[in-house]
A and B are shown apart, each in its own frame.
Chain A
Amino acid sequence: MRPEKLVGMANQISLFMESKTDRDEALEGLAAHINDFWDPRMRRQFVDAVSSDDDLPARDLVRRALPLIRLSREDDDLPGAPKSPAGSEPINPAHRD
């Protein structure tokens, strides 16, 4: 998934959480929301992307939440999600010209 999109989604959640007065609650709320609603490959791609690219426009709270994002317990017994191909070229050979 495009890193910009994942970061955009995380920023949106962050904006809601940031209105909480308790900063810890906001941080935990953000991480919990991502852990509860994002599939493991999205979380993995998200953490990889944000931790490796300081230029991604992630909000401060989003960056601080990274260590709290759970990386899947079972990732190991599954073939990892392949890296994004350049652009969004269809992988189905039938659709490549």
Chain B
Amino acid sequence: MTIPLSRTIDRGTKRGTSETMVTLTVDGTEVTVPAGTSIMRAASEAEIAVPKLCATDMLDAFGSCRLCLVEIEGRNGTPSSCTTPVADGMVVHTQTDRLKKLRKGVMELYISDHPLDCLTCAANGDCELQDMAGAVGLRDVRYDSVAEKGTHFQIRNTAGENNPFYLPKDQSNPYFDYDPSKCIVCSRCVRACEEVQGTFALTIAGRGWDSRVSAGTSLDDMLSSDCVSCGACVQACPTATLVEKSVVEIGTPERSVVTTCAYCGVGCSFEAQMRGDELVRMVPYKDGKANRGHSCVKGRFAYGYAEHPDRILSPMIRDRIDEPWREVSWEEALGFAAKRLKGIQAEKGRRSIGVITSSRCTNEETYLVQKLARGVFLNNNTDTCARVCHSPTGYGLGQTYGTSAGTQDFDSVEHADVVLVIGANPTDGHPVFASRLKKRLRQGAKLIVVDPRRIDLVKTPHVEAAHHLPLRPGTNVAVVTAMAHVIVAEGLQDQAFIDERCDAEAFADYLEFVSDPRHAPEAMEEVTGVPAETLRQAARLYATGGRAAIYYGLGVTEHSQGSTTVIGIANLAMLTGNVGIEGAGVNPLRGQNNVQGSCDMGSFPHELPGYRHVKHDDAREIFESRWGVKIDPEPGLRIPNMFDAALDGSFGGLYCQGEDIVQSDPDTSHVVAALSAMDCVIVHDLFLNETSNYAHVFLPGSSFLEKDGTFTNAERRINRVRRVMAPRARYADWEVTQLLAAAMGTEWGYTHPSEIMDEIAATTPSFAGVTYGLLEEKGSVQWPCNEVHPEGTPMMHVEGFVRGKGRFIRTDYVATEERSGPRYPLLLTTGRILSQYNVGAQTRRTANTIWHDEDRLEINPHDAENRGVRDGDWVRIASRAGETTLRAQITDRVAAGVVYTTFHHPDTQANVVTTDNSDWATNCPEYKVTAVQVAPSNGPSDWQERYSDHAEAARRIDYAAE
């Protein structure tokens, strides 16, 4: 959808939420709005724009600029329309002689302290101050007194002395500038940082003439302050005071295309604001239902990787991985790949090649990649990186509720009274959701955090967790089961809900299981490290505190008992009747942007699109009749199984789209050995990544700006991705897969991704109603979207569970084999940080590195001292799988006995250390627990050095003679 630039109209304040409607007259026009709405908003809905400066509809009204004055019949004075609520029968005038004069006066005062450099200003043409000066008809500015007192914008005063009020530009943030000389102190930025983002990085320092917007303390600049660079203040600023550096450089955009962020599972909608085919800036889209006009630093600013010189724009091949790459034509590369894949199948059988779909690519692309495996390779060897993050969610929620997806939309958090966050770090991993969560917490909802590490949410400005359960890594099941024990033992369960909605026999069995005193928090304390009393209080709060929502992340799934924990979480919600209502539910926070979609699209080796097992004849028949092939009824290989089979010699070819398995999968040396054993590894990506060091074919990928498609976010919301520029390497990713299929002998004939979506809708019941037309009309829909729910389904399991009766399942705690012992006494757990994303291939190629230029090992002061490690020292970290080195950061965020690191940088190779342990049900790797030892070291390990030498050699390209 291309929308005329700027602006979705800013109506100044939010609409009231009351059910009572009120009718008033504004300038002779009748308008009806909910009680509690401001006059300004009501006027705007009647298409009357009252002049304003400090009001914007992303924020609460503030009433400081006095530009929005109106007159109300029968009332004295000239109240500000942004702060005055409507009343029934009110008669409002917005344009009278008196108002005009007053407004001119207000503007004159503002402009007398404002540099008049509109023509060379970055906001020229996109400035509310300029607009308002025009709107009120300001023609001259008299206040010379201001100039005498000293303005805020002149470096020297009229006497030639330094002007103490002048502050220079702060350009420390890599993405936006702060120019105090243009500030009108409307506080929109300060309020945006508080209300929308919840970081409280900005304040108004000083009073009266002295008041200034200030980031952090007087010694700070933007960069050193608490600012997380979300951009909310930049959007809120009506002037050029806070402005994107890209706008300063390029100029204002001329059109805007609504699309979806390609980073995390929140799936924020953005306006890609363009000039020609140049992207000027990304601005969060106010009508985006996942993000409601907010964003984080990654989506808002870190898109520069799409233009990075490292991008590979020509296909490349090589016979052996120790040779340099050769640039070739698309035809040659695809022909080479097809020939090799067919050769492997001829020699080793049909099931000897496979694909890995990407959770970063669109639904349509993912659908085609699994179709390539099922319909062209004729096997089910398709898997996705979701294997390594959320496959246990699919299994656990499928078994208990009957569908493998989160139950709520993000809006639901606005109704929650208690929020239980388990194994997730939303402020870093899902920042926009975190902002919405924090907003609710500031309104009084209670928070329980279950995490080995003291994540930011536990205590941040104006938010504090009621309980933090710092469990030992690997004991989630014990904690969740103990909570259920407390609920049952103290009779806090919602028996009516259980009787009505859940399977009685399964519940009776579960009750017997969970009531056993061996699950009591006191009995589990030894194992979990969580004080029994804290756990009891948390359980009581969850069960009795009102609407209780659970949000969980990879800290739940990436364990040997990941699926069991998901089941335990589902049990908790059923036990307390927290399913099927607003403000409650079970919500997985998905890692990458399209994890949900890649699972929905049949990426898993046992499931056709729509979660139907391949063993079912009726499910296969739907695709067989459409594709004209016989589909293999046997489950295929999962990613770790592919590696094992490659080492066995029974698997030799892999098409890997948009994933860097060498960096993201555990036990790197095992992965590397497996890839080295294959005869044809095809990497389809933007950059030469770690996996491509072991590849024979490189196919250039397209960024999300270069293609059409859809992403499905963690709330099951299908959002459009829209092409704003031509693919730089000629083909969008879906076209490349189609060409590969053609090279293998199967013509598909799609001419646009919408045709792929039509096929998905025709074959997959939960997508039956989805078309590009509907998405155009609604903006987005949440599946299931079919005849019963033609506009999609914001909340699942409302009347009853998808599987019929909810099923309680026993969740016995089984200790992971990964235990600390004398050789490896510490437990390593891993995570991510805000400014980087996954393996960092994109974010490392942006200015985001200013916040995180290396991975660090967090270690408790006690453990550090025992080992003679000082802050910033190089340390060696070793597990039974391997060892690596990185620098230490001493902090009590991690408990003694636990160490923590991120995995964004390839040089760190944190996954050299992680083991091949995995979830019992899904083989999702156990990233979150590895027994390790830490010791001081002098620098990179042998492995790291060998690895980087090899990587360098493997990346050589022989450029074709021009």
Contact = CB atoms under 8 A, between A and B. Distances in A.
Interface in A47-97: 72-74, 78-79, 81-85, 88, 90-92, 94-95
Interface in A1-56: 1-2, 5, 9, 12-13, 15-16, 18-21, 33, 36-42
B637 A95 contact: no
Interface string B765-795: 0000000000000000000000000000000
A3 to B, nearest CB: 11
B418 to A, nearest CB: 29
Contacts of A36: 606, 613, 615, 635
Contacts of B678: 92
B634 A16 contact: no
B863 interface: no
Interface string B612-649: 01010000000000000000111111100100110111
A13 B921 contact: yes
B923 interface: yes
A92 B644 contact: no
B650 A81 contact: yes
Contact of B645 (A72, A79, A81): A81
Given A78-B351, A79-B348, A88-B647, A40 B810 contact: no
A78 B649 contact: no
B610 interface: no
A19 B513 CA distance: 9
A39 B348 CA distance: 15
A16 B921 CA distance: 9
A78 B814 CA distance: 38
Contacts of A82: 348, 648-650
A88 B677 CA distance: 9
B640 to A, nearest CB: 9
B101 interface: no
Contacts of A74: 632-634
Contacts of A83: 648
Given A37-B635, A39-B634, A81-B650, A19 B350 contact: no
A1 B645 contact: yes
A83 B613 CA distance: 28
Contact of A79 (B349, B641, B679, B812): B349
B810 A78 contact: no
Contacts of A40: 351, 634
B353 interface: no
Nearest to A80: B349
Interface in B632-684: 632-638, 641, 644-645, 647-650, 652, 673, 676-679
A85 B513 CA distance: 45
Contacts of B922: 37
B470 to A, nearest CB: 26
B676 A95 contact: yes
Contacts of A39: 351, 380-381, 605, 634-637, 641, 645
Nearest to B561: A16
B349 A38 contact: no
B633 A41 contact: no
Contacts, number: 110
A96 B810 CA distance: 49
Given A39-B605, A41-B351, A90 B676 contact: yes
A94 B347 CA distance: 18
Contact of B923 (A9, A72, A73, A90): A9
B577 to A, nearest CB: 25
Contacts of A78: 349-351
Contact of B644 (A2, A20, A21, A37): A2
Nearest to B817: A8
A12 B349 contact: no
A19 B481 CA distance: 13
B823 interface: no
A71 to B, nearest CB: 10
Contacts of A2: 644
B321 interface: yes
A34 to B, nearest CB: 10
A13 B920 contact: yes
Contacts of A21: 509, 512
A9 to B, nearest CB: 7
B560 interface: yes
Contact of B810 (A20, A41, A84): A20
B810 A91 contact: no
A81 B921 CA distance: 24
A64 B615 CA distance: 24
Nearest to B512: A21
Contacts of B221: none
B564 interface: yes
A88 B678 CA distance: 12
A40 B641 CA distance: 11
B295 to A, nearest CB: 38
A82 B348 CA distance: 9
B873 interface: no
A90 B321 contact: no
A85 B613 CA distance: 32
B648 A81 contact: yes
Given A15-B920, A38-B635, A73-B633, A1 B648 contact: yes
Contacts of B679: 92
B677 to A, nearest CB: 4
B308 to A, nearest CB: 31
B320 interface: yes
Instruction: Give the interface centre of B512, B641, B810, B811 by most chain A CB atoms within 10 Å.
Output: B641
A85 B648 CA distance: 6
A46 to B, nearest CB: 12
Contacts of A42: 637, 641, 645
Given A36-B635, A90-B677, A12 B648 contact: no
A16 B920 contact: yes
B414 interface: no
A36 B920 CA distance: 14
B349 to A, nearest CB: 4
21 contacts: A1-B641, A5-B644, A13-B921, A16-B812, A16-B920, A16-B921, A21-B509, A36-B635, A39-B351, A39-B637, A39-B641, A73-B634, A83-B648, A84-B648, A85-B648, A88-B673, A88-B677, A90-B673, A90-B676, A94-B320, A94-B321
Given A37-B922, A95-B676, 7 more contacts: A5-B644, A13-B921, A15-B814, A37-B921, A74-B632, A84-B649, A91-B652
Interface of B: 319-322, 347-351, 380-381, 509, 512-513, 560, 563-564, 605-606, 613, 615, 632-638, 641, 644-645, 647-650, 652, 673, 676-679, 810-812, 814, 916, 918, 920-923
